[in-house]
Amino acid sequence: MPSIFSRIVSGEIPCHRIAEDEHHLAFLDINPLARGHTLVIPKDETDYIFDIDDERLSALMLFAKMVGLGIERAIPCKRIGITVIGLEVPHAHIHLIPINSISDMEFSRPKLTLSHEELANIADQIRSELKG
């Protein structure tokens, strides 16, 4: 059975898309730790990120870097925190989180509840920073 992220890739489940190429997709986390919290995934489903071969892992990181720099321009923050957990969804993904302090990376904190419109606006802001 395809992962929930593969179902997002196929369009079966909607998401707030940030960026996409042939092999990668970036979209907003539905339960963000911060405004702009984004997930970057390879379109091909692999559970554990270290099972991805070196070439594809490097490409995934470079795609995440491009997206992260766009988030940084769109969302005021000190920098973009990067983490990989993968305990909930068995499809490798990189969390990109705008942070101002170490506690902003605390995954046990309550998540933000943002409306569809708020998420759509954030996605718009980030996408426009990636255009130029």
Contact between 29 and ligand 5GP (CB under 6 A)?
yes
**Residues in contact with ligand 5GP, shown as a per-residue x/- string from 88 to 117 under the rule CB under 6 A:** xx----------------------------
Q: Which stretch binds ligand 5GP (CB under 6 A): 21-29, 45-53, 55-63, 74-82?
A: 21-29
Q: Is 45 in the site for ligand 5GP (CB under 6 A)?
A: no
Question: From its phi and psi, is residue 107 left (phi > 0), alpha (psi between -120 and 50) or beta?
Answer: alpha
Nearer to ligand 5GP, 74 or 97 (CB): 97
Contact 75, 87 (CB under 8 A): no
Q: Which range in 24-32, 54-62, 65-73, 74-82 contacts ligand 5GP by CB under 6 A?
A: 24-32
DSSP 13-81: S---EEEE-SSEEEEE-SS-SSTT-EEEEESS--SSGGGS-HHHHHHHHHHHHHHHHHHHHHS--SEEE
